[in-house]
Amino acid sequence: MFNTAYLDLPPLQSAAGTVQLPGSKSISNRVLLLAALSRGRTVIHDLLDSDDTRVMLTALEQLGCGVERGVAGVPTDVAITGLGGGVPKSPAKLFLGNAGTAMRPLTAALSVLGGDFALSGVPRMHERPIGDLVDALRQLGCQIDYTGNDGFPPLKIGTPGLKLDAPIAVRGDVSSQFLTALLLALPLVAKQDIHIDVIGELISKPYIEITLNLLTKFGINVKRDGWQRFTISQGASYQSPGEIWVEADASSASYFIALGAISTTTNSSIRIEGLSENAIQGDIRFVDAARLMGAQITSGANHLEISKGAWPLKAIDLDCNHIPDAAMTLAVMALYAEGTTTLRNIASWRVKETDRIAAMTTELRKLGATVVEAQDFISVTPPALNAWKAASIHTYDDHRIAMCFSLAAFNPASKAVRIEDPKCVAKTFPDYFETLFSVVKPSSVPVICVDGPTASGKGTLASRVAQQLGFSYLDSGALYRLTALAAKQQGISWDDEAGLAKLAAHLPVVFEGQTVLLNEDDVSELIRSEEMGMGASKVSVFPAVREALTALQHSFARLPGLVADGRDMGTVIFPTAPLKIFLTANAATRAERRYKQLISKGISAKLDSLRADLEARDLRDSSRASAPLKPAEDAVLLDNSGQTIEESVAFVSNQWQSKLGV
């Protein structure tokens, strides 16, 4: 997850590859309970790993179900051996955290099965109402007591005297989870037809559809009369399907479906694993809308494959009431369509994480689009090629704004897009940007070079800037220091160009954050010694050594970008880098900094000899024939002699921001 204030997306060019998206939460916990109530063993693939599923699994284990985690070595595959008509282990005390999707259906299932159960959760769970469900269950003779406040968990459940002949009334206008809980529990006791009547207008119907659909997969066909009456037929009984796949989250999939439509090239595609066109989540209908805009989408049993069809995309005029969340993605796809796209019947956008109609309007306009907003629709006309603007996208603590605007980085004018507060994606998809970066190709990975003489503060400046931007960091000097150290360890002379080059080409080095491992030994401190600094300066004069380390340095350039420090980053290794800083400080300042650094580590040092040493090293580094230390022609000079580190970081950040134009 990117925990930075903003994330800069460079112009992106194409996308191809396979993504696995997180599983749907509502499906995961329903499937766990269904498997637990069934006869036989069910292998559940792609289960969401979250707090809510973890408490459910623990509870099922306590109740006597077989639980195997990580089936066949796959961490997201879990096998459940169900109770299959048997009785759950009792007495049992179940702690259900803050998982409503565990508390409600378990209350219903355990109270019809009977036993001695105590169900509790975190304090917040004890403030979440369950009275309507308990009332419904008491009507059929279930024994449920509130052990805290009336109407709320914690609960104590006993043995029921079931009366199932009269229809069971349940409120549908507070939470659809109460109806779901009854639908999941009552097949356990269907000795006769059981009717459930919904009181009030049923909300969140797509979630009831998910419940009904999953029930079918476990052998239960519920008859439905509109959204008012549901009937479970006499003799219904749960049967394990053997194995079942939890669908990937369909709203999350919309970004990758759009990606395929916008950015795949001939013969390439985006493949989304874990979801098919027959998915049972409402937002899967985004597939139809994306097709209308020109996406080429095929569906397998458990994957979708998307490639470019029409290009530019086709503008649409669509009622989006059935896909309110995924429709935001259409608004960004509209930037790549010919003409004006209108998304209608989206008044609910106004009352989501933020006023999404207002937010989308403001942010799309920043990119140069012409946008008309009204109470319940939005119209988007893309900018002309020369009117596209780089923009810093405000995200309003709304995960979907952050995710859908990342797609604007494919703009044909190659403008950068800054996403503010990128960590807001954690609400549904913490690794969204990492997943995006695994399939997109930029025109080039942005590199910020910081070159300069010894002890000018390059390392501190470069690593701070990298941290601020969420970029990788390359300390190229460390590679020369490592070569010097490895040579010393293996008895290779610092004058032996061929021997050193052979060594440098296969340095067994691993960078783990601040730690540098050579042959699996932590050498982070060892390479910082004055001896290795001098050794590095010596071995780095050889062209063959420099050549041998080039590919390793290039491999550090990954999305979203790289900050590289050294002597020749801007001149030789990354000559096309968009920002090059040449950092200097006068020799007296640098000698003093190094002196303080050594003293603070308890290493004795003399200021005069340090200064003489670093001047000697400067001379060697800048007068050598191969890649000498000198500013690149397009470098920005920064003398930090009188600056604090914060001032230098701010200077580089400002330079970077003006390069991007955001």
Which structure tokens are listed for 385?
């090629």
Rounded distance, CA 27 to CA 402, Å? Answer: 25
Q: How far is the CB of 10 from ligand DC (least distance, A)?
A: 23
- The number of CA neighbours under 13 Å toward the Cβ of 57 is 19
Residue nearest to ligand DC (CB): 477
Q: How far is the CB of 485 from ligand DC (least distance, A)?
A: 12
Q: How far is the CB of 524 from ligand DC (least distance, A)?
A: 12
Select 363 or 565, whichever has its Cβ closest to ligand DC: 565
Q: How far is the CB of 601 from ligand DC (least distance, A)?
A: 16
Select 177 or 476, whichever has its Cβ closest to ligand DC: 476
Select 430 or 575, whichever has its Cβ closest to ligand DC: 575
Select 38 or 537, whichever has its Cβ closest to ligand DC: 537
Residues forming the site for ligand DC (CB under 6 A): 454, 476-477, 480-481, 533, 536-537, 540, 566-568, 617, 621
Which of 404, 298, 288, 290 is closest to 337 using CA atoms? 290
The residues, any chain, with a CB within 8 Å of residue 85's CB and separated by 6 or more, are 39, 237
C-alpha of 402 from chain center? 11
The residues, any chain, with a CB within 8 Å of residue 573's CB and separated by 6 or more, are 449, 476, 550, 553, 554, 564, 566
Q: How far is the CB of 326 from ligand DC (least distance, A)?
A: 47
Give how far Cα 576 sits from Cα of 438, 530, 551, 632, Å. Answer: 23, 32, 16, 10
325 classed as catalytic: yes
Q: How far is the CB of 483 from ligand DC (least distance, A)?
A: 9
Select 279 or 591, whichever has its Cβ closest to ligand DC: 591
Are 424 and 395 contacting, i.e. CB atoms less than 8 angstroms apart? yes
Rounded distance, CA 470 to CA 656, Å? Answer: 14
Q: How far is the CB of 612 from ligand DC (least distance, A)?
A: 15
Mapped onto helix, strand or coil, the DSSP state of residue 400 is helix
Are 335 and 408 contacting, i.e. CB atoms less than 8 angstroms apart? yes
Q: How far is the CB of 536 from ligand DC (least distance, A)?
A: 3
Which structure tokens are listed for 662?
């955001």
Rounded distance, CA 408 to CA 9, Å? Answer: 9
Rounded distance, CA 224 to CA 117, Å? Answer: 32
Can you tell me which residue has the tokens 């095929």?
Answer: 298
Q: How far is the CB of 608 from ligand DC (least distance, A)?
A: 20
Select 202 or 532, whichever has its Cβ closest to ligand DC: 532
Select 22 or 566, whichever has its Cβ closest to ligand DC: 566
The residues, any chain, with a CB within 8 Å of residue 261's CB and separated by 6 or more, are 290, 293, 294, 295, 296, 306, 307, 308, 309, 313, 333
Select 23 or 566, whichever has its Cβ closest to ligand DC: 566
Select 168 or 526, whichever has its Cβ closest to ligand DC: 526
For the beta carbon of residue 553, count every other beta carbon within 10 angstroms.
20
Which structure tokens are listed for 426?
């954690």
Which of 408, 401, 440 is closest to 424 using CA atoms? 401
Mapped onto helix, strand or coil, the DSSP state of residue 249 is coil
Rounded distance, CA 489 to CA 493, Å? Answer: 10
CA angle 296, 301, 306 (to 5 degrees): 20
Q: From the candidates 52, 325, 398, 618, which is the catalytic residue?
A: 325
Catalytic positions are 325
